[in-house]
Amino acid sequence: MKHTIKSITILVFGLSFITACKNENTNNTKKQVEKTFSETITYISNNGIQKYELQIMKDSIHLQDIANNKLYKMAHVHSGSGSKYKSADGYVFWSKGKEYTFYKNNNTISKGTLFEGDTSKHLGTYVSEFYEKRNEGYDWIAVNVSNSGINKLNISVRSRADKKKPTCTLNTMAYKVDENNFKAYENDAIILFSFEDGYISIDTENKDQDSVLLYYCNGGASLKGKYKLIVGNADESQIDKTRYRKVLSWQNIRFNISSVRKEYTNQLTINPYGLTQQNTAVTHDIEGEVTNAEIEDLNADGFPEVLVYINSTGSGSYGSVIGYSVNNGKSMSQIYMPPIFENKELNKGYMGHDEFAIVETTLVQRFPIYNDDDTNSNPTGGTRQIQYKLKDGEASRKFVVDKVIEY
């Protein structure tokens, strides 16, 4: 991005110089010569839905919002880093390196990265065949594909929910097999996601396990089939707005975990059942997507902890954990998770792409290590694995680093 901006700046400077010479040769007339656009730079949001074409001139840009068919004319404004532009009605486009943020009045509209061809070619929303007949009352299913780090995709299946209970719901992480094929592991089966010519096909690796694709639907429906890529979001007035849903149980205690799309963020809700004194739901505004949730008795006191894993929507896919611990079966309290950015030893070479999992009574965090010259998609420093134990703190329980392994 820095090299691209530099070359564009040189091009624009050259055009300005030629224009100035022409004006001087015509007795310094005040007629303004219209500047031609430089090459177009394309950005794509991390969920693959928004796409922006950026045409840079000397002190301004034209920003074309492809998904919503809107054009923003923006002037360059001062910033401490990167390139920042603002429209007369308050919209701001701010790029830093290959990443961008598009916002208004401090409310983020989208975040994403420079579009570099095949890197993001599978991202977006795919819909079933009856989507085009939705206004006639037909049911339909949408499959949203977003980034989940290196060689991984988040797959979120949602369906129509304005007239009846949603038909199909699934959240899973799919791992790259080759350029166009990804695998997810669910309910002791392998689900295949294959991309070709603007379509995604969902099937199972073993045909004897096709019934697993019925598990995530009701009324006899199945996820198996072919879905077509569309521009922008699926119909917001009809689609199920739940981004993630999972139910976790431990003896007589249950947690309903869900996240719902809001205007500029997602809202996570953890709703406990079976506690003897307080079963109040808790909510968190999260900047990113829930990737998984787990339950386990991490401190061996006979009562469970529930952990929710979140990945940011930036190209780094930075991970975080929101956790709650049950207090003697009566209530629950939030667990403190130390931010990795506060530990200089642990965050050396850290650029996100976290994975979290509970292994027996230990929380394990794992991420690739980046050397100084590494690109975001090609870390070469190996892997760092951090193991945490749950301990009692002064005000609440907290995760404490127990062991660090590099390989």
- Using one digit for the tens of pLDDT, what is the confidence trace for 381-398? 988 999 999 999 888 899
- Using one digit for the tens of pLDDT, what is the confidence trace for 56-82? 776 788 998 877 778 999 998 888 778
Within 10 angstroms of residue 66's Cβ, the number of other Cβ atoms is 14
Identify which of 29-33, 78-82, 244-248, 279-283 has the greatest average pLDDT: 279-283
Which residues are paired to 192 by β-bridges?
Answer: 183, 203
Identify which of 36-45, 231-240, 302-311 has the greatest average pLDDT: 302-311
Higher pLDDT, 29 or 253: 253
Q: pLDDT averaged over the chain?
A: 83
In this predicted structure, the answer to whether residue 141 has a pLDDT above a threshold of 90 is yes
Model pTM above 0.75? no
In this predicted structure, the answer to whether residue 315 has a pLDDT above a threshold of 70 is no
From-to residues of CATH 2.40.128.460 in the chain: 242-406
From-to residues of CATH 2.40.128.200 in the chain: 2-117
Of 92-106, 141-155, 192-206, least confident by mean pLDDT is 141-155
Q: How far does the chain reach from its first CA to its final CA, in angstroms? A: 32
Are 335 and 390 in contact by the 8 Å Cβ rule? The answer is: yes
Tokens 């975080």 belong to residue: 320
Q: Report whether CATH 2.40.128.460 matches the domain 242-406.
A: yes
Q: Please give the CATH topology (third level) of the domain spanning 122-230.
A: Lipocalin (2.40.128)
- Mean pLDDT, residues 289-308 taken together: 93
Within 10 angstroms of residue 36's Cβ, the number of other Cβ atoms is 10
What's the CA gap between 318 and 354, in Å, rounded?
A: 6
Question: Hey, which CATH number is domain 2-117, 3.50.50.100, 3.90.800.10, 3.40.50.620, 2.40.128.200?
Answer: 2.40.128.200
What's the CA gap between 59 and 46, in Å, rounded?
A: 27
Higher pLDDT, 199 or 188: 199
- Mean pLDDT, residues 249-267 taken together: 87
Token readout for 387 is: 């193991």
Look at residue 18 in the predicted model and tell me its pLDDT. Answer: 37
Are 283 and 267 in contact by the 8 Å Cβ rule? The answer is: yes
Look at residue 47 in the predicted model and tell me its pLDDT. Answer: 65
Look at residue 171 in the predicted model and tell me its pLDDT. Answer: 86
Higher pLDDT, 192 or 379: 192
- Using one digit for the tens of pLDDT, what is the confidence trace for 222-257? 999 999 999 888 898 898 888 888 889 999 999 999
- Mean pLDDT, residues 86-106 taken together: 89
The pLDDT-based confidence of 372 (bands split at 50, 70, 90) is: confident
Cα 270 to Cα 106, 168, 250, 333, 404, distances in angstroms: 27, 21, 15, 12, 30
Per cent of the chain over pLDDT 70 is: 86
- Mean pLDDT, residues 196-219 taken together: 91
Look at residue 219 in the predicted model and tell me its pLDDT. Answer: 82
- Mean pLDDT, residues 308-325 taken together: 85
Q: In 170-224, which ranges are continuous DSSP H helix? A: 212-215
